């Protein structure tokens, strides 16, 4: 696999046996599967994003401070990273369906534990269990879509999945803020437990196993016992990132996502303070344009990345060069993301009143779309190049990216306090451009990157 002309990447026609793997499910069944995994993918977004607006109310009920209660946010990010690695690694052995069913009870019990917490210690413990249980939503969902859609259709499927789940990330703060303002944070977490129970029943009754026949480790075990437990190292997924192309695209997507967090995390201290918005529910509603951009942008980005694969495969006379999918990132990484985040900083600093607020909301919408135009093709690229371990590479990306973003997020508010909103956002725009530069290098030298460290890359014949 040393060059673009590598025979491992060349195929003039996929064999009938290979095609039949993706014909196991009808189009209607595939749409239902996407609905179920998207519904499950929404859960970790709601668990994370509904908590932040509730922090003042939780601190008051537990007789603590905002800063101390905020520790649970960092803890839940860590739990999500650990859980994503665990569920993804074991899904390669036991299958996707079983891992969904194993994770949901943790979510339900953890959510009830959070709702009943009477001390900070119990809150932190149950928050970890809750986040751990639902953390497989993204990685397992990406693995499922890689299981049921062939190469030229995969971007569209992942786009729909990412769009639905990321929309939840923007809607959730509004719901969390409304719950904190008009309802109860405890009832909110009881609702999450009910949602998890419903999702578990939905998967148990209507969700088939999507892993390709013969690919699960459990199928290779001599069944002498009713249940076979195998030790699978969850950290093994991270070892995939030793490949330069996988590490570089992970870093690029992280740098682009920094802009999202720079806009959204301090929103109450930037847009809220600048335009006199104090109601928690209204502040939560300001997240909606970004979510709408995610919801619309992800399917469009996914379809565009599929078009790029087909277009360049024709140009290369039937040869598949995986990095061609990354060409779909240009519009988002070069224009939409850096321009929107920099413009928002300048608008917040220099333009007041309804005009400044309206233009800021437009920037949030454009940023939501632009981030998807980068992150979605990268997510599909991961599934393409390491297809047999698609859930694991998605988990490795999510875990590593969470650590990078949690560190970056911790610097956002101090940066705003020291150098202002405008310069903080301009720095985020420059980071997004650096990320796009890394993608350019991956497109240009992807064949050499893959050849330097082969982690078991997929070919057309097994993709």
User: What is the reported pLDDT for 227?
Assistant: 63
Token reading at 233: 């190292």
**DSSP symbols for 230-282:** ----GGGGGGGGGSHHHHHHHHHHHHHHHHHHHHHTTTIIIIIHHTT---HHH
pLDDT at 450 over 50: yes
Work out the burial of residue 300: count CB atoms within 10 Å of its CB; fewer than 13 is exposed, 13-18 middle, 19 or more buried. middle
pLDDT-based confidence at 66, cuts 50/70/90?
low
Q: How far is it, in rounded angstroms, from Cα 341 to Cα 432? A: 10
Token reading at 17: 């046996």
CA dihedral defined by 437, 440, 442, 447, rounded to 10 degrees? -150
The number of C-alpha atoms within 13 Å of 126 and in the hemisphere containing its C-beta is 20
pLDDT at 18 over 60: no
Residue from 428, 245, 437, 255 nearest 330 by CA: 437
pLDDT at 247 over 70: yes
CA angle, 113 as apex, 109 and 119 as ends, to 5°?
160
User: What is the reported pLDDT for 96?
Assistant: 87
User: What is the reported pLDDT for 109?
Assistant: 95
Q: How far is it, in rounded angstroms, from Cα 380 to Cα 158? A: 7
Q: Which residue in this structure is represented by tokens 């994503």?
A: 84
218/114: higher pLDDT: 114
* Cβ proximity of 115 and 189 under 8 Å: yes
User: What is the reported pLDDT for 70?
Assistant: 64
User: What is the reported pLDDT for 67?
Assistant: 60
pLDDT-based confidence at 16, cuts 50/70/90?
very low
Q: What is the DSSP letter of 212?
A: P
Average pLDDT over residues 60-86: 76
pLDDT at 279 over 80: no
pLDDT at 358 over 60: yes
Contacts of 164 (CB under 8 A, 6+ apart): 38, 41, 42, 295, 298
Whole-number average pLDDT of the chain: 84
pLDDT at 224 over 90: no
Token reading at 154: 């995969």
User: What is the reported pLDDT for 421?
Assistant: 93
CA angle, 142 as apex, 141 and 144 as ends, to 5°?
65
User: What is the reported pLDDT for 77?
Assistant: 79
Q: How far is it, in rounded angstroms, from Cα 218 to Cα 226? A: 12
Q: 163: how many CB neighbours lie within 10 A of its CB?
A: 24
User: What is the reported pLDDT for 222?
Assistant: 63
Share of the chain above pLDDT 70, in %: 89
Number of H helices, E strands in the chain: 18, 0
Cα–Cα distance list, 217 to 90, 220, 457 (Å): 9, 5, 19
pLDDT at 232 over 80: no
pLDDT at 7 over 50: no
* Cβ proximity of 335 and 370 under 8 Å: yes
Identify the weakest region by mean pLDDT among 228-232, 257-261, 291-295, 367-371.
Answer: 228-232
User: What is the reported pLDDT for 12?
Assistant: 40
pLDDT at 3 over 70: no
Average pLDDT over residues 142-157: 85
User: What is the reported pLDDT for 108?
Assistant: 94
Helix, strand, coil percent values for the chain (each to nearest 5): 80, 0, 20
For the stretch 162-191, pLDDT in tens is 877 877 776 777 777 777 777 888 888 899
Q: How far is it, in rounded angstroms, from Cα 334 to Cα 111? A: 40
pLDDT-based confidence at 248, cuts 50/70/90?
very high
User: What is the reported pLDDT for 83?
Assistant: 87
Domain ranges within the chain, ordered by starting residue: 26-212+237-462
pTM (predicted TM-score): 0.79
Domain 26-212+237-462: state its class.
mainly alpha
Average pLDDT over residues 322-343: 95
pLDDT-based confidence at 217, cuts 50/70/90?
low
Q: How far is it, in rounded angstroms, from Cα 107 to Cα 110? A: 5
114/285: higher pLDDT: 114
Share of the chain above pLDDT 90, in %: 32
For the stretch 314-326, pLDDT in tens is 998 888 899 999 9
């Amino acid at each position: 696999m040393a060059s673009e002309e590598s025979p491992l990447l060349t195929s003039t026609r996929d064999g009938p046996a290979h095609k039949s793997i993706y014909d196991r499910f009808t189009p209607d069944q595939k749409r239902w599967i996407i609905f179920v995994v998207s519904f499950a993918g929404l859960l970790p977004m709601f668990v994370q994003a509904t908590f932040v607006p509730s922090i003042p109310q939780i601190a008051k009920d537990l007789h603590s401070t905002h800063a101390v209660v905020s520790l649970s946010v960092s803890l839940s990010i860590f739990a999500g990273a650990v859980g994503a690695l665990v569920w993804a690694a074991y899904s390669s052995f036991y299958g996707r369906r079983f891992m969904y069913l194993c994770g949901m009870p943790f979510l339900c019990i953890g959510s009830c534990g959070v709702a009943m917490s009477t001390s900070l210690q119990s809150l932190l413990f149950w928050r970890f269990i809750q986040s751990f249980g639902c953390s497989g939503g993204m990685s397992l969902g990406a693995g499922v879509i890689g299981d049921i859609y062939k190469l030229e259709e995969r971007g569209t499927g992942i786009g729909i999945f990412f769009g639905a789940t990321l929309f939840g990330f923007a809607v959730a703060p509004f719901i969390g803020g409304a719950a904190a303002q008009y309802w109860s944070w405890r009832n909110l977490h009881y609702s999450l437990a009910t949602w998890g129970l419903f999702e578990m029943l939905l998967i148990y009754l209507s969700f088939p196993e999507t892993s390709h026949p013969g690919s699960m480790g459990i199928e290779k075990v001599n069944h002498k016992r009713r249940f076979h437990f195998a030790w699978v190292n969850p950290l093994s997924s991270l070892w995939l990132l030793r490949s330069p192309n996988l590490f570089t695209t992970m870093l690029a997507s992280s740098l682009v996502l920094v802009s999202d967090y720079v806009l959204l995390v301090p929103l109450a201290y930037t847009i809220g303070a600048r335009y006199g918005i104090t109601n928690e529910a209204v502040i939560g509603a300001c997240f909606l344009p970004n979510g709408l951009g995610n919801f619309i942008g992800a399917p469009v980005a996914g379809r565009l990345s599929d078009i790029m694969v087909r277009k360049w495969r024709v140009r290369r006379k039937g040869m598949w060069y995986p990095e061609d999918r990354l060409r779909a990132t240009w519009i988002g990484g070069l224009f939409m993301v850096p321009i929107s985040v920099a413009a928002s900083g300048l608008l917040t600093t220099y333009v007041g009143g309804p005009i400044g607020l309206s233009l800021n909301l437009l920037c949030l919408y454009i940023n939501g779309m632009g981030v998807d135009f980068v992150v979605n093709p990268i997510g599909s690229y991961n599934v393409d190049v390491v297809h047999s371990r698609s859930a694991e590479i998605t988990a490795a990306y999510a875990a590593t990216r969470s650590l990078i973003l949690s560190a970056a997020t911790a610097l956002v508010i101090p940066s705003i306090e020291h150098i202002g909103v405008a310069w903080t956002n301009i720095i985020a725009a420059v980071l997004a451009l650096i990320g796009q530069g890394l993608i350019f290098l991956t497109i240009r030298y992807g064949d050499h990157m893959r050849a330097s460290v082969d982690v078991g890359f997929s070919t057309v014949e097994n993709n």
